[in-house]
Amino acid sequence: MLRLLVFIIAVALSACGGGDGASFAPETGNTHCGVSVGKQRIIGMVTSVHDGDTVTVGGESVRLASIDAPELDQAYGPSSRGNLSAMVLGQTVTVTYAEKDRFDRVVGTVFKTDCTHVNLNMVLVGAAWYYEAFQCEIDLRQRQAYAAAQAQAQAARRGLWLSDAMAPWMHRNGVDAKVPNSCPNGDAASL
């Protein structure tokens, strides 16, 4: 009953232009733009870009899943943020997600209205790393797509791959991220 009430309020606010401009769409399945994703949706305008992997959509902080961008105090950090800003700031996007992180941010996959997969594109253009430590949270096809995008960016020396880049998790913690050898869903952990 409460879920129905929240849905009705969200629809009413989005229909009349009220609220913060975001709508929390109903669960519509496990795919969006042909990609396996979380069932929950936020549709709204990107109002700010914090760094290369965190945006605000209609007042909700969204951490882009499966990627990790350089911190702002790292060599490519401001460029990474600039890339993400150019891609989505002021535009309507759909965020698909299944959970929030310990900082109460939505951890989601961002799609532009033309189905551009923003998270994957950030890796492809060399603006972020594929965050393999969390690979078991996505299906095998997505793991392969992220790994291939990162390999292409590295081979072409795009963006952060133009020089010796330190992974943001190393910068933050001083230790390498632990990559699982296998995933509970039975998919191979890596290519």
SS3 61: strand
Helix ranges (DSSP H) in 111-156? 118-124, 140-155
Q: How many residues does the chain have?
A: 191
Is 63 part of the annotated catalytic residue set?
yes
Q: Which of 41, 60, 81, 105 is catalytic?
A: 105
Q: Which of 63, 81, 132, 143 is catalytic?
A: 63
Q: Which of 60, 71, 81, 143 is catalytic?
A: 71
* DSSP string over 103-119: TS-EEEEEEETT--BHH
| Contacts within 8 Å (CB) and 24+ apart, 28-37 | 32/94, 32/96, 32/109, 32/111, 33/111, 33/115, 33/117, 34/115, 35/109, 35/111, 35/117, 35/142, 36/138, 36/139, 36/141, 36/142, 37/96, 37/97, 37/98, 37/108, 37/109
Q: Is the torsion defined by CA of 93, 99, 101, 105 positive or negative? A: positive
Q: Which residues are catalytic?
A: 63, 71, 105
